[in-house]
Amino acid sequence: MVSGTSDRVTEHTPESLNEGIRRDIDNNVRHYAAHPDEIDTRLAELDREWDIERTLEANASTLAFCGTVLGTTVDRRWLALPALVTAFLFQHAVQGWCPPLPILRKLGFRTMKEIDTERFALKALRGDFGKIDGDPASRARAALQGARR
């Protein structure tokens, strides 16, 4: 079965890792609800954050290129590396899973959907979509609830 693009990584990630990422997002939003003057800086950081898809693509292209260069200049057996990497990349495109995925998730790489959840919650806190009243905790809850819809 082919998973939907926006959910395929989380569907193939252990729930404990997904929960940890959600908890980190919640903690970040709660922090910025109490420190709204820091939201713009955090939004800029989120704009620079590499999502897991971009990271997988960059790593795959680097390994494939290196394997090709080594295969043509050092030893033809290195050509197995780009073959393996492109097979993994294809597997990820079709299934949403490939061998490097669990490692990258453990390292904290997030999906674009997860990054956007934090981004939109912070924009809500900043007032981009209207004012959210209340104490920082209730403002954070409301912002996260809206961002996850």
Question: Are 61 and 85 within one domain?
Answer: yes
CA dihedral for 45, 47, 51, 56, sign (positive or negative): negative
Choice among 4-18, 21-35, 114-128 with the minimum mean pLDDT: 4-18
Residue 147, pLDDT above cutoff 90: yes
Cβ distance 17 to 111 under 8 Å? no
Asked if the structure places residue 22 within a domain, the reply is yes
Question: Are 45 and 20 within one domain?
Answer: yes
Token pair recorded at residue 106: 């453990």
User: Domain range spanning residue 60?
Assistant: 52-109
Locate all alpha helices (DSSP H) within the chain, ordered by sequence.
8-11, 15-34, 39-48, 52-73, 80-95, 100-106, 112-126, 136-147
Mean pLDDT value across residues 4-18 = 90
| Amino acid type, 64 | A
Model pLDDT, residue 127 = 96
Chain segment 82-136, per-residue pLDDT in tens: 999 999 999 999 988 999 999 999 999 999 999 999 999 999 999 999 999 999 9
Model pLDDT, residue 6 = 81
Asked if the structure places residue 1 within a domain, the reply is no
Model pLDDT, residue 2 = 59
Mean pLDDT value across residues 17-27 = 97
CA angle 23, 14, 81 (to 5 degrees): 120
